[in-house]
Structure 1
């Protein structure tokens, strides 16, 4: 994946070891731009990284909470909010743990989703931002299970991930939880350095065809209708 700017945003500071805004961030930002958002709406950015999406939501007048497991990401987002003159509440923790019992009008999520050969061990260091077990769903399954409890009636989840990590399963899990879910955006990009290194392994698993040099990203929108 290549680094990109989030439209209308100051280019964020990215500390070493923090996930920088990339094609998946931009795709999710595009889907977010299509969402109607009342002033003062409560928005949660899960796995905020550099805070690019959290800042985008704050610019739209939302009350924003951003969460990340990485202390570096938390510090980066706080600095970027200060640089931009925006108010964002930034919490450290694992997925929804720091906001237990709270509900939101919109949840944004760009979780780790890259299938990893050593899927039996939890990723460490920078790899925590992308590696997600052998099927790429180490975080996605939890996200799909836990997100519905944090949505107000009429609230929505926007989550981006690779087609390599089974969007159909995400849709099924979200629908089983009572949400109305559909893919709202798709985009093909060239394989980044991590996937290029794993191309043969992905081919053996049937996730890539021989000679494939692209992957598809998708954004899923899931709404709590009651």
Structure 2
């Protein structure tokens, strides 16, 4: 997979998301025909979804990512519609059977720009919370979302936010991993802000599966 400078290079969290996504697609009793990937990065999940037969839309806010998705889709001989947009200002998209995202989730000092590859604001939730907010408009009733994040930015708020929006959410996969270069570089700041314990250099990465109620109606829609 091509991942040029500035584009998140697929890692453990990417593999977790893809594994759960493919499993969901293969075992869903009614099948999954449409997938949206938010914060697509290299588009690895989009490529896997397209290879599994879905109609796929990949969304990212950087030119580098949009180009990487196009290259990776072409090299795997699949079609992926690519939309350049911030998740906080999405154009109208048709709701999908499945929405997946591996968003930036690393807490960052306020002076650092968020939303690109890993930085996600002072509490690490600026992008995660934005995704939770738009899911009711992107996931069809009875559809699902798969979201990857670290426990450093809080799993409970994600589960609560999803429940508040009509989703039945639970952690379906998790792994404890050593800090990567970004987290190691930021470890002392994370300690000072109370995100990790002194000397802690591992994090729990989780996949959250959220199933939308069959009676749910997107905001602005009529019953």
Q: Same fold (TM over 0.5)?
A: yes
CA contact 2:22–2:49 (8 Å) conserved in 1: no
1:31 is paired with a residue whose SS is helix
Coordinate RMSD, CA, aligned: 1.7
Q: 2:113 aligns with which of 111, 122, 143?
A: 122
Matching residue of 1:6? none
Structure 1 CA distance for aligned equivalents of residues 34 and 5 of structure 2: 30
Distance 1:167 1:149, change over 3 A: same
Distance 1:194 1:40, change over 3 A: closer
2:137 paired with 1:144: no
CA contact 2:22–2:52 (8 Å) conserved in 1: no
Matching residue of 2:184? 196
Matching residue of 1:205? 193
Q: Flag structure 1 segments of 5+ consecutive residues without an equivalent.
A: 1-11
How many pairs were matched up?
211
Say which is worse superposed, 163-172 or 207-216, in terms of deviation. 207-216
2:126 is paired with a residue whose SS is coil
Matching residue of 1:89? 81
Structure 2 CA distance for aligned equivalents of residues 217 and 34 of structure 1: 18
- Give the Å deviation of 1:122: 3.1
TM-score when normalising by structure 1: 0.88
Q: Flag structure 2 segments of 5+ consecutive residues without an equivalent.
A: 215-223
CA contact 1:19–1:129 (8 Å) conserved in 2: yes
- Give the Å deviation of 1:46: 0.5
Distance 1:114 1:52, change over 3 A: same
| 1:7-26 matches, cutoff 5 A | 12-26=1-15
CA contact 2:32–2:98 (8 Å) conserved in 1: no
CA contact 1:43–1:57 (8 Å) conserved in 2: yes
Matching residue of 1:55? 47
Matching residue of 1:158? 146
TM-score when normalising by structure 2: 0.89
Q: 2:162 aligns with which of 144, 153, 174?
A: 174
- Give the Å deviation of 1:101: 4.7
- 1:73-107 Cα offsets, whole Å, 9 max, x none, are 10111011111110111111112744525200000
Matching residue of 1:33? 22
2:142 is paired with a residue whose SS is strand
1:116 is paired with a residue whose SS is coil
CA contact 1:39–1:61 (8 Å) conserved in 2: no
CA contact 1:39–1:62 (8 Å) conserved in 2: no
Distance 1:202 1:98, change over 3 A: closer
